[in-house]
Amino acid sequence: MTDSTAQQDPFGLTGVRDHQEYVDALKRLAEQGRRERCVALLSETEAHVMAELLGQYALHNPTGHLNQLAATLAARLYSRLGA
């Protein structure tokens, strides 16, 4: 991967070939994010809204891989918000 390609795709998602690989790549990124230093990127209100949207998305297809990831992220946001 060249430097310009790395800058265009800093999270390594351009090489995924199908839905399952995309879900796996997102899971790896989420795990990587858990190990990195925490920096506030959202206000508390924005975090509540994102958790709610992720939770609603997860309910549409509870067995879908991307929906399960959305549910996990919603739960983590709510946990950090103390909800």
Dist CA 16 CA 58 (whole Å): 22
- How is the chain split into domains, by residue range? 19-82
pLDDT, residue 8, reads 81
- pTM assigned to the model: 0.66
CB-based contact 16:22 (threshold 8 Å): yes
What is the enclosing helix (H) or strand (E) of 7?
helix 3-8
> Could you read off the pLDDT of 11-24 as tens digits, one per residue?
778 888 888 888 88
pLDDT beyond 80 at 7? no
Dihedral (C-alpha) 52, 54, 60, 66: value to the nearest 10 degrees? -170
